[in-house]
Amino acid sequence: MKFNTALLHGDFQGEPNTGATTTPVYQSSAFAHESAEKLEKIFHNQAPGYSYTRISNPTVDAFEKRVTALEGGVASVACASGMAALYNAFCNILRSGDEIVSSASLYGGSIDLFRDLEAFGITTHYVENNDLAAFEAKTNEHTRLYFAETIGNPRLDVTDITALANLAHEHQVPLIIDNTVATAFLVKPLSLGADIVMNSSSKYINGHSNSISGIITDSGRFKWDVEKYPGMADFKKFGPFAYTAKLRNGLFRNTGACLSPQNAFYNCIGLETLGIRMERICDNAAELARFFVREYPDVTVNYPGLESSPWHEIAKKQFKDRFGGILTIRTGSKKRAFEIINALKLPLIISNIGDTKTLVIHPESTLNVHSTPEEKRDAGVFDDLIRISVGIEDVEDLIEDFRQAMDQSRPEKSKE
């Protein structure tokens, strides 16, 4: 099945007991069973079933299965937010003294999380994305994972997933990829060698800004060395499900960062239109980027779909014919950036991406406010930068709105 057909019909059966085409919201904190023996088997992983929504829930399970099929993995675990998914994905295998080697061009919240992990003795080394020599130089006997975003947010650099996965595997560490900005519509990182993929499903997967959530999907292919990853020793018996089994029976269950059934339901609804939304969003973003290049040479436009992008060739190789829904423009000053943002009538000023509506933000004063000057530079964050998350509006209307906002803020007019 092709992408959109699979979203609607792949590994999804609705509610067989009633014939409902959508899994209902099982808004229950706990689940009763006919005998103590049955519940005992569920707790000992000897029988399928539900006991407590903090651990699993039928509605959440339906969402997890659909994302697993979408990403081509063996299992998924849905969390209360994208940040919760990142924390669980990392700390499921990390302990004090371990180290991470990561691309430096990350979402500001991810950098903040890595800073928090320092208190637990976990160190992160940041290197230039796709600089394999730099990744290797920072790799040592304490390294336990590599991490990168498919498309850096907001730098918009594109990770060469296959090359980075090959290097990670040479050093016998897993590659974890944040696929939030690209989504499986553009690329399936597990098919290119990544071992674990996470998505902040609050974004494009949900698509309507009505739910916070994140999800981790395991390829099931990484061979866990129990000397290097001692926490995996009791779970090797689960074979390709070892990573997920450890997560569900430990950190995920004990920290309680579970996805609510209602939000899982919203995500299932949103997921069905991911393909057609991404088609429109990517096409709009490409057209808007070309508009800026064509009519406003005084701004610097960054979009992987432009031949001027340093990452255009990697993007073409991995994404085929579309390049994502985010672009950035550098306007020359923070003052002008604010003037443009404030003059826009259609885009919403929101710290989110992936909505049906176009969204704009000034990352330097918001999302990356806690980052150091060096971290901001490495992440592609500057005080004159505007990040634009393009929606599904008629692109002609978007262009006209940006035109009037840009014209109001032309530098020569600001001096009058």
Q: C-alpha distances in angstroms, 110 versus 14, 31, 152, 211, 255? A: 35, 35, 11, 19, 19
Q: Check pLDDT > 80 for residue 72.
A: yes
What are 128's two structure tokens? 């230039």
How far is C-alpha 248 from the chain's CA centre?
Answer: 20
Distance (Å, whole) CA 416 – CA 413: 5
Sheet (strand 99-103) strand order: 75-79, 214-218, 196-199, 175-178, 143-149, 99-103, 123-127
pLDDT at 385: 97
Element of type H or E holding 251: helix 251-255
Q: Check pLDDT > 50 for residue 284.
A: yes
What are 120's two structure tokens? 């637990």
SS (HEC) of 17-78: CCCECCCCCCCCCECCCCCHHHHHHHHCCCCCCCCECCCCCHHHHHHHHHHHHHHCCCEEEE
Q: What is the pLDDT of residues 363-374, one digit of tens each?
A: 999 988 888 999
Distance (Å, whole) CA 411 – CA 298: 9
Q: Check pLDDT > 90 for residue 20.
A: no
pLDDT at 412: 58
17-26, 91-100, 137-146: least confident range: 17-26
Q: Is the pTM of this model over 0.85?
A: yes
Closest CA to 363 of 115, 182, 108, 83: 108
> In the 8-state DSSP scheme, what is residue 79?
E
Residue 154, preceding bond cis, omega within 30 degrees?
Answer: yes
Q: What is the pLDDT of residues 339-348, one digit of tens each?
A: 999 999 999 9
pLDDT at 414: 43
What are 389's two structure tokens? 């998350």
What are 339's two structure tokens? 């003037």
Burial of residue 93 (CB within 10 Å: 0-12, 13-18, 19+) is buried
Confidence of residue 18 (pLDDT cuts 50, 70, 90): confident
Q: What is the pLDDT of residues 223-261, one digit of tens each?
A: 999 999 999 999 999 999 999 999 999 999 999 999 999
Distance (Å, whole) CA 411 – CA 416: 9
Between vectors from CA 46 to CA 44 and to CA 51, what angle results, nearest 5°? 60
> In the 8-state DSSP scheme, what is residue 143?
E
How many C-beta atoms lie closer than 10 Å to residue 9's C-beta? 10
pLDDT at 370: 85
Q: What is the pLDDT of residues 137-169, one digit of tens each?
A: 999 999 999 999 999 999 999 999 999 999 999
Percent of the chain scored above 90 by pLDDT?
Answer: 87
Q: Check pLDDT > 50 for residue 416.
A: no
146, 164 contact by CB (below 8 A): yes
Q: What is the pLDDT of residues 158-216, one digit of tens each?
A: 999 999 999 999 999 999 999 999 999 999 999 999 999 999 999 999 999 999 999 99
> What are the backbone angles phi and psi of residue 355, rounded to the nearest 5°?
-85, 165
Mean pLDDT (the chain) is: 95
Distance (Å, whole) CA 236 – CA 95: 18
Q: Check pLDDT > 50 for residue 296.
A: yes
Distance (Å, whole) CA 50 – CA 54: 10
Distance (Å, whole) CA 179 – CA 152: 10
Closest CA to 187 of 81, 321, 356: 321
> In the 8-state DSSP scheme, what is residue 195?
S
Burial of residue 96 (CB within 10 Å: 0-12, 13-18, 19+) is exposed
What are 214's two structure tokens? 């994140």
Q: Check pLDDT > 90 for residue 44.
A: no
pLDDT at 17: 80
